[in-house]
Each structure stands twice: as C-alpha cells, then as structure tokens.
Amino acid sequence: MLAIVYLLLCFLTGYCIIELVFKNIGNLTETTFYGNKINISSLYLRLPAYFVSGVLSVTWILYVTCCILRNTANPIGTANAIVMILAGVFVVITGFFLIKRKGNIFKGEADKISTADVVIITLVCLLVFFLMFKTLGILDGKLKIGLSVFSDFSTHLSMMRSFSHGNNFPTEYTFFGGEDVKYHFMFQFLCGNLEYLGLRIDQALNIPSILSMIFSYSVLFVLAVKLTGKKTVGYFTLLFYTFRSSHALFEYILTIPKGSVVKTLFETTEFIGATENENWGLWNLNVYCNQRHFSFSLTVMIIVLILILPCFYDGCVRLLSKFNELRQNEKKPLFISLFIKDSLLSKEGWRIKDCKTAVFTGILLGASGFFNGAVLIGTVIVLFFVAAASDRRLEFVIVAGIAGALSLIQSKCFITSQLFTPQYYYGFLSNPKNLFGSIEYIWKLMGFLPLILLIQFLKSKGPRKYIMFCFSMPIIFAFNVSLTPDISVNHKYVMISIMLLDVFAGVFVCRLFENKDILYKAVGVILTLCLTASGFFEFYIVSVKNVDDRAMRYAYTDDIMEWIWDNTDNNDIFLSANYYLMYGGYGNSLILSGHKMYSGWDYFSWSAGYDVGKRNAMIEQIYSAETPEELYRLINETEIDYIVVDRVNRDAETYELNEDTIIASFERVFTKDDGPDRFSIYDVSKRLQ
C-alpha cells in the first residue's frame, strides 16, 4: 500500500538525514550529560529522531509541492508521485554511502535492551494502542469515535478530509472558510495524505499517532537517564508522565457517602477534578487521544533538548572546575563574579563549537511550528533560560534564528491577519486570580508533585537546580501570558513543564527505594501511589467513557459526501448551522466531506482567534431574510457558494428560518428526506429571480 511506502520513506529519509548530520549519534545514549557511563540502546533515540526528521522533511516538501501544483487536476496525487520518487532516489544513494561508511550501526544495540526495558516497552505499546484504537476505529462498518474525543475530532477529521478528498492549497480552516488557517494543521495534512494514499481514515490518523506517542515515551526516557544517570529514574518518569499527580481522586472520594465509595468509583463515567474544565479531561491521558498532534511535537521538543543541553553542561563542568581550582589556591571566589567573567564575558561562553547541530536543531524546531505551535513556544521558552547559563550561546542564537525565521515564513504564508495577540493575564484558570489563588490551584491540580519538586529543588546542587528552574518556565508563562481568546489552551504549557519536571520527581522517589531502611521504601511505595492514584483512576474513566456502546458512530462515506466531492469545488463555501460531530443529523456528512463551512461550531473558531460574532450575525440575517432581494444582497457580501438547510436550522433559537425565501431564490441541487428532517443544498450561483 502506498501509504505504508510513504511512512517507510519518511523513516528512511530520516535515517539518512540523522546519520549524515550526526556521525556519532549513538554516543549520545552511552553517557550522561556529565559524561558518566549509562550505555542505553541508541535505538531509543535513533528511531524517534528518524521518524520526526523524516516526517517533517518529506511532508513539508510534499505540502509545498502540492501548493505549487494547486491549479492542476490532481495536485496531491502528482505531488506524491514526485516527492516519493525523489525521496526514494535520495534514500538509495545516501543509504548506500552510509552503509559503506558506517556499516551496521545497529549491531549490538538490541543487546543493550534489558528485560526491564522490554517489560516497559511492552506496557507502553499496549497502553498507546489501547488509547488510540479505543477512541477511533471502525465498528459495524461505521466510523467509531470515542465519547471523550468526538467533539474536537470535528475539526481534525474535517481538515484531514480537506486534503484527502479536496485541494485545500493554500490551506484554509474548514470551520471558517474563506479566511486563513491559524490552527496548526500539518499533522492533519500528514494523516489526510495517508488516507489519500489508501489507508482507511481511522488507520490514517491512528498509525502516526501511535508512533508519535510511543516515540515521545522513548525520548523522554533517554532525557531522564541522561540527566540523572539512572534507568530507574527513567522508569519512574514514564510512570508519572502517564498517570498524573493530582488531588482529584482524593477530593472526589471525600464527596462520596461512606459505605458506597467503591461502588460509586466503579460507576463513575465522567472526568473528575476540582479545578475549572477538568471535566473536559484537560490534564490526563485523554489529551493525547484528543490532540493527536501533541505527542509528535513533544518528541521533537525532547530531541531538541537532548541535542542542545550539552552546551549547558559543558559550561557547568568548565566553571566548576575553575571554581574548585581557585579554591585550592586558597582564594574564595564568588561564583556569580566567576560566571560573569568566565562565561558571560568569555569566548568560551559564546563561541560556536558545533554549528551543524545548531543548524539542524533550528530547522527541526522551526519545521514543527505548524504541527503544534504551543510546543514550539514552550521549547523556545525553556531554551531561552538554558542559554542564559550555557557555553556556546551563539549556537542558541543560531537555533532561535532559524526556528524563528521558519516560523515567521510559515505564518506569513498561512496567516493574513495577526497570529496571536500576547497580553498579560495573571492566574491562568485559578480563582481568585492572585498569588494565593494560584498556589491553591496548583496544589489542587498537581497534588503532591509541587511539594516533592520543591524538596528536590532545595536538595539539588547548582546545575540540576537551574535545569529544574528552566523546566518550570512554561508553567510561569501559562500563568502570566495569554496568546489566544481562550486561556484554557495554556494547559499545554503546564503539561510540558510537568512532563519535564517528572524526571526530578523520579529522582526523589528513586532515592527512597534505594535506601536500605525499609521505612524509606514504604514511604516510597505510599508516595508513588499518591502521585499516580488520580492518573490511574482517570485512565479508568478514559476506558469506560470510550466503550463501544457509548461511542459516536458515523458513516465515513455516504451519498451526501459523495455528492459534495463529485459536484463541488474544494474552495466552495457552505453556509450551514454551527455544526460539530453530533449524535445524529446530516451535518456530520458536511464535516466529514472536508469542505469549507462559512462558520462551523463557534468554540473552535473563536478559540483560534476568528471573529465569529460578525459571521454569526450574517448567518442569522441570511436564514431569516424575508425577500429574495434581501437574500441576494446579503449573499453578495460574502463568499458563500451553497446554502444548507436542515432540521438544525429549523430548530434554531437565535433566528427564525424563512425557508420559503431560500426556496424562491436559488435552485435546490441536492435534497435528502422529507418533512422536518429534510436536508437540502441550494446553489447560490443559480438564482431563480
């Protein structure tokens, strides 16, 4: 199947790129950042690096080629033929050179995978496969979407279909047709292309999602071991990353009458939590089921950190060595003055040692911007503070310059208006929005984790303490800055920090288990249970919320979609009710066709920064127009090509549908059913008066 060939070409292209750029990438998993021996398999880093670099390069080249060929009969088909042939030639030529130069780079790497590693890998794979196929699949011949994700999948699947069954180049947001695309869409383009190449729509989304999430676990494990030198810390990090710390379960239990706790817990089918919007599943594993592009960009972020953190640790080793040398000479230097003199004002603090890695890292980071913009911003925030205390700062400048330039180019190409309007907004979702309210919110949201991290921070020495500080910066950003109308989207910055700081929670718990005193081990067990209890229960909720009996089911092709694909142009805009994927109704077919709507569900467009108020006012006027002349005038003020009328319009509360005016004004080109459920499409280019 061509879709599998495409993914293999991405992997192989990534292999060629990584092995060309990094002659000794295998060495990165042999030592910690301080140079101490760890010797974990390079496959944990190599395979994710191959995947993300290959997907980013091949998919971006494919997208640009599609844009160039947008006026041809089949731009995505022609572009795939060109790009896959070029990628194949590149892989054959470069792969032959690499094999001749390097030989078998994987020899002995499988032997470094311990029995414990195999167990963890198996559990991770089972978890990820379960989550992805539980929330999206085919059931009884219909598309099955889990109850916890179906709403957001409205936009994801719509954007996918705009590529697999349309010509959405240059790209517009399908839920706000006629304007730019402010939402990061490249992962949807990747998945849409896989559907075009032959994968069923659920497989086209599930396979890249599964690979992305598994690889995010893999590189997080590498980062944890390189930071601490202990594989056990890596295991605990993955545990805490999966099952988040929170007081949610404990507070929920306190609300349950005595004697019915167990029964109530097993009967619970909704997300719990005492903070705002936790009923969305905003913080648990459901995020990775819902926001499939999140894990891909997290993998990119962690690879970037693994590649760039040596600059920081090189500086630490050099300055500490200088500091100890001065102390041995009976001098009492101040570390701050030493830092200013021998780092900020020295050549070593700024010189470029590895330009190739800096350039590659900048390209990798910049290319990920429209896969997930929040992760790009979060990564830049962390790198900014890491750079402040690092050697080779000009390498950070190169990374930031390239990533910023690529992001700016993408924004200028896709977004005609301003991408976002940064503004000071203190408190995130806390209430009240002051220091004490924020502390209370963090305590409720993160459970015992902040306390453990505070203790670990106070116990840690300078370099580790500073890295913890850097990893905390996305949380500080989330509590002080708003980039979009909906502050809830800042939760991704909080999740980024928590994921990175879980490494140091792992250090704390690991030390308890390493202590010979049985009391410490018992405390370690209790603490681990406290840190993961809410997360385990929320995993249970994700499971029961997405059982097949409760799943939303949709036809992934039907006569409405077929008519739209066969009779309309991809640039045509449909005026309809504010649809999202619902339990029933023919609006689902319009969404899954991938064609553009004048205004889809308000929240999606509003939270992305579109002016939904203006369009909603126009929608009300059009549907309630009293004469054909008035209707013609209103339509002329828009780019609408088709008007959809169905039961949702007839039951609308904000306007009274004047269907007779529409019938008298335009030719009805498609109709389905009769009476109140009648679904009709009117072509506004075919006027009757």
Pairwise pLDDT comparison (101 vs 117), residue with the higher score: 117
Q: Give backbone dihedrals phi and psi of 76, rounded to 5 degrees, phi first.
A: -70, -35
Confidence band for 418, pLDDT divided at 50, 70 and 90: low
pLDDT band at 597 (very low <50, low <70, confident <90, very high): very high
pLDDT in tens, 228-244: 999 999 999 999 999 99
Q: What percent of the chain has pLDDT over 90?
A: 70
Question: What pairs with residue 667 in β-bridges?
Answer: 683
**Residues 248-292: tens digit of each pLDDT:** 999 999 988 888 888 999 988 889 988 888 888 888 999 999 999
Half-sphere CA count of 626, side-chain side, radius 13 A:
0
- Comparing 216-220, 233-237, 376-380, 426-430, the range with the smallest average pLDDT is 426-430
Q: How many angstroms separate the CA atoms of 134 and 137, rounded?
A: 7
Query: 648-660, pLDDT tens digit by residue?
Result: 999 988 899 999 9
Tell me what the mean pLDDT of segment 429-433 comes to: 89
Look at the pTM and tell me if it is higher than 0.75: yes
- pLDDT-wise least confident of 403-407, 509-513, 584-588: 584-588
Q: Return the pLDDT at 531.
A: 96
Number of H helices, E strands in the chain: 28, 10
Q: What pLDDT score does 225 carry?
A: 97
Backbone phi and psi for residue 31, each to the nearest 5 degrees, phi listed first: -140, 160
Count CA within 13 A, CB hemisphere, residue 459.
Answer: 11
* Sheet with 666-672: strands ordered across: 596-597, 573-575, 642-645, 679-687, 666-672
**Mean pLDDT, rounded, for 394-408:** 93
What is the reported pLDDT for 485? 84
Q: Is the pLDDT of residue 451 over 90?
A: yes
DSSP structure class, residue 31: B
Confidence grade of residue 643 (pLDDT, cut at 50, 70, 90): very high
3-state secondary structure of 669: strand
d(CA 199, CA 193): 9
Rounded to the nearest 5 degrees, what angle is found at the Cα of 677, between the Cα atoms of 673 and 682? 70
Burial of 71 (0-12, 13-18, 19+ CB in 10 A): exposed
Over the chain, what is the mean pLDDT? 92
pLDDT of residue 140: 87
Spatial contact of 214 and 149, defined as CB atoms under 8 Å apart: no
Is the bond into 432 cis (omega within 30 degrees of 0)? yes
Query: Would you say residue 419 has pLDDT above 70?
Result: no
Q: What is each CA distance from 566 to 166, 180, 563, 570, 595, in whole angstroms?
A: 10, 25, 5, 10, 12
pLDDT in tens, 204-213: 999 999 999 9
**DSSP letters of 247-283?**
SHHHHHHHTSPTT-HHHHHHH--S---SSTTGGGT-S
The 10 Å Cβ neighbour count of residue 160 is: 28
Question: In this predicted model, what pLDDT tens digit does every residue of 355-389 receive, in sequence order?
Answer: 999 999 999 999 999 899 899 999 999 999 999 99
Which pLDDT score, from 0 to 100, does residue 330 have? Answer: 60
**Chain centroid to CA 683:** 38
The pLDDT of residue 639? 92
Neighbouring C-beta atoms of residue 518, cutoff 10 Å: 8
Backbone phi and psi for residue 573, each to the nearest 5 degrees, phi listed first:
-115, 130
pLDDT at res. 333: 64
Cβ-based burial of 206 (10 A; exposed 0-12, middle 13-18, buried ≥19): buried
Q: pLDDT tens-digit profile of 675-684?
A: 888 999 999 9
Residue 323 has pLDDT above 80, yes or no: no
